[in-house]
Structure 1
Amino acid sequence: MRPPNMSGHFLLAPIPESSSDYLLSRDIKLAVLGAGRVGKSAMIVRFLTKRFIGDYEPNTGKLYSRLVFVEGDQLSIQIQDTPGTIQAQDNLSQTMDSLSKCVQWADGFLLVYSITDYDSYQSIRPLYQHIRKVHPDSKVPVIIVGNKGDLLHARQVQTHDGVQLANELGSLFLEISTSENYEDVYDVFQHLCKEVSKVHSLGGERRRASIIPRPRSPNMQDLKRRFKQALSSKVKSTSALG
């Protein structure tokens, strides 16, 4: 499955040390979560450089920063890679605690599993539930990604399994091949950036509406005083005419 066709392209460049207030106000912070060896770092590097680095994840835990254009708007994007130690059979409570700071920090999430590793697929649900626990009242966008779609001979997770899980969790699902199709990787990050940007825009509108001052209620004593003054003036004018 692929997201709707989206126009516009990313322009990637290092973020200058002295970013403007405008850019800082439009920061988009993304986190890529999932088990080890599912291709998280490979996805990030592929998106930023179009280069495929293979299954090895040398940049785990690294924070990437770039300036991007999304539908004509210039944004500052930060992508947090995370340790690949999450497995369904591990001590999940301890693992989730170690991720809490990252989950609190991020505005949007990619939850990645490998179609060749059923355990990595099983780790997606607790990750999603932890995100919603940390952001209970938020509409933080989450996309579930089934990676390594080119390795069909080693498939352990069927496409319909990913679709069913995403439907249950109310999330978007995409099955991609980081190694073979850059456009798939590009679409995943672009769509997530757009969804986060929408949430930011709605939040900004709500904040602007909240600071508009309410009109003051009329002061009844002041209204009576003004009415008496107007009546008195009218009486004086009538007397003068007479």
Structure 2
Amino acid sequence: MNTTEKFYLPVDGILEMFNSFTELHNQSRTHSALTPATQHPKVSNISRTSMGIIKTVKGHWRQQDHKVVSSRSSSSDNRQVSTDRVPKRSVDLLELGLTKPRNCHRIVVLGAPKVGKTNIIQRFLGQDFEEDYEPTTEDFHRKLFHIDGEAYQVDLLDAANERNFPAKRRLSILTGDIFLLVFSLGDRESFSEVCELLDEIKAAKTKLLKLKHPARVPAVICGNKADLEELRVVGQSEVTEILGEDVMYFETSAKDGAGLDSMFKALATLGGLPDETTPSRHQVVPLLTYQSLYLEQRGRRWSRTRDLSAPCAATDPLARRPSFTSDLKLVLRTSTKQKPERCQIQ
């Protein structure tokens, strides 16, 4: 038995003993209020002794907790900025007037569950693959770039759980600039869902823009889990035959990174973004470093300070999805000036 076990094992017994003695002591105090003589001197002495033990134990616990917190904070400093150095609010370059509207894009990621959408997004953000699966309800990420003296903002919306809420999913589709549709090469049903999603996106954009012909959708199709070749049930020829040869299709592996660089480059091309937005072409820096190199806060105004020679990017940890009201206003501005006959997300 180690020293920690030797110390903590008697604690429960001490607490029980202390509680029982405290109750008796309280009873003795009530009784002593009625009679001048002290009725339980031994109980009072033992209670004071127990109180000393409890204070010693609590003091030891506080020291241990302080050491644990200190070790955790020191280890987290190696990975990210400490919590007291995190910015107080999210950074929206478009709202701050620090970038052009054409340099801000929202990528909407859609697909069936368990196909690897979250890990692909993590790869784009410069993070590692995570083996453990956790169902995603909705995730919103923002990555800020500084390339050749210009600022770029890419928002990523992982609308995983919106498959059960058609109106909410339709709003996400209408606000999306670029679409990444992900299926698993080992799951034919997930591929069928991607085909349906692509048709839904085309129909929604066509109606929004009031076009006579189906809209051309800036979408990239991703067949993930290419590393599990023995489980493959969907072939590349089948994808090309169903979706057409002009579709941008890539087979990737979020686990070993195969094909991801080409896919991210295709997303950048569709959005009119520089190739340097692909994860392998820029350096990831902390958000505060990004701000200190590119922005300077003077009162309530933000202004440029100096340009960076090498492409860099930072992830905004405080980014949150814009409200549905603001998204709906964006949709209405995108539509024609004529008043729509009915709400576009219906």
Aligned residue among 252, 261, 269 for 1:186: 261
**Number of residue pairs matched?**
176
* Contact kept? 1:35, 1:84, Cα under 8 Å: no
The residue correspondences of 1:55-204 to structure 2 (distance < 5 A) are 56-68=133-145, 73-83=150-160, 86=163, 95-136=165-206, 137=211, 138-167=215-244, 170-181=246-257, 184-197=259-272
The answer (yes or no) to whether the contact 1:146–1:175 under 8 Å persists in 2 is yes
Deviates more, 1:15-24 or 1:138-147: 15-24
Q: 1:80 to 1:175 in 2, by over 3 A?
A: same
Q: Deviations over 1:108-164 (max 9, x none)?
A: 101110001110011111100110111114543111110000001111111212222
Q: Whole-Å Cα distance in 1 between the matches of residues 253 and 225 of structure 2?
A: 5
Where does residue 284 of structure 2 map in the other structure?
Answer: none
- Which residue of the partner structure matches residue 5 of structure 1? none
Distance 2:201 2:227 in 1: 29
Go from structure 1 to structure 2 and tell me whether the alpha carbon gap of 1:73 and 1:192 turns closer, same or farther (over 3 Å shift): farther
> Structure 2: any 5+ residue segments left out of the alignment?
1-86, 274-346
Q: Which of the pair has the greater relative contact order for Cα pairs under 8 Å at 6+ separation? A: 1
Q: Give the C-alpha shift of residue 193 in structure 1.
A: 2.3
Q: Aligned residues: percent identity?
A: 26
Larger radius of gyration: 2
> Secondary structure of 2:153's partner?
strand
Instruction: Pick closer, same or farther for the CA change 1:68–1:166 going to 2, 3 Å.
Output: farther
CA deviations over 1:52-76 (Å, ceiling 9, x no partner): 0136245541110011357875310
Give 3-state SS (helix, strand or coil) of 1:135's partner. Answer: helix
CA–CA distance in structure 2, aligned partners of residues 71 and 151 of structure 1: 39
Residue 93 of structure 2 is aligned to residue 23 of structure 1:
no
Aligned-partner residue type, residue 119 of structure 1: E
Cα deviation, 1:43-100, whole Å, max 9, x if unaligned, reads 00012124101362455411100113578753100000012575xxxxxxx6543310
Gaps spanning 5+ residues in structure 1: where? 1-13, 87-93, 199-242
Structure 1 segments (4+ residues) deviating >6 Å: none
Over 3 Å counting, the alpha-carbon distance change for 1:16 and 1:83 in structure 2 is: closer
Q: Answer yes or no: is 1:45 the counterpart of 2:115.
A: no
Please give the secondary structure, in 1, of the residue aligned with 2:271: helix
